[in-house]
Amino acid sequence: MITPEGHARLKAELDELWRVRRPEVVRALAAAAAEGDRSENAEYTYRKKQLGEIDRRVRYLGKRLEHLRVVDTPPTDRGAVFFGAWLRLEDEDGHEHAYRIVGPDETDAARGWISIDSPLARAALKRRADDEFEAELPGGRRSFVVLEVRYGAPLD
């Protein structure tokens, strides 16, 4: 599963790699190869490695995009936490945290985007505002209260 924004980002990355980065590296590789002895040509070795990395990522993204299911409609029960939800939680210490539940390909800790497969997201699924729940996190068991659940627009 993936959000429409996440899908668009992966497609844009694939397009950038295939249409811009790869041709640049191929040109640089050809120029390095034209310099002569390839066994002692650091530029040639570097560009070959770089091309291999780009090709691996292009193959991965191509296969991954074929199998992802874009979830572009909110659930019928908008009051509960499901995929794509924006939620605000309060932990047992009284600190508020804002998260968005997304697919594993689009997690971003700095933005508060957590994978639906994460322990916190799994524990929050189907919860509603004012529900309390516990989650087994890497730092130990923590308690939370759901303050808000929203779909579509990000939390303020």
Per-residue pLDDT of 87-123, as tens digits, reads: 999 999 999 999 999 999 999 989 999 999 999 999 9
Average pLDDT over residues 138-152: 94
What is residue 41's predicted lDDT score, i.e. its pLDDT? Answer: 80
114 lies in a domain? Answer: yes
What is residue 152's predicted lDDT score, i.e. its pLDDT? Answer: 83
Q: Which residues span the domain enclosing 35?
A: 4-67
What is residue 39's predicted lDDT score, i.e. its pLDDT? Answer: 73
What is residue 36's predicted lDDT score, i.e. its pLDDT? Answer: 75
Domain boundary among 67, 95, 122: 67
24 compared with 156, residue with greater pLDDT: 24
Are 62 and 95 in a shared domain?
no
Q: How many domains does the chain have?
A: 2
Average pLDDT over residues 71-91: 93
Torsion of CA 110, 112, 115, 119, to 10 degrees: 110
- pLDDT band for 57, please (50, 70, 90 cuts): very high
Domain boundary among 19, 40, 67: 67
Average pLDDT over residues 128-146: 95
Are 47 and 103 in a shared domain?
no
Instruction: Find the CATH number of the domain harbouring 29.
Output: 1.10.287.180
In this predicted structure, the answer to whether residue 154 has a pLDDT above a threshold of 90 is no
156 lies in a domain? Answer: no
Tokens of 145: 């209260």
What is residue 28's predicted lDDT score, i.e. its pLDDT? Answer: 92
Could you give the percent of the chain with pLDDT greater than 70?
A: 99
76 lies in a domain? Answer: no
112 lies in a domain? Answer: yes
Instruction: Find the CATH number of the domain harbouring 115.
Output: 3.10.50.30
In this predicted structure, the answer to whether residue 83 has a pLDDT above a threshold of 90 is yes
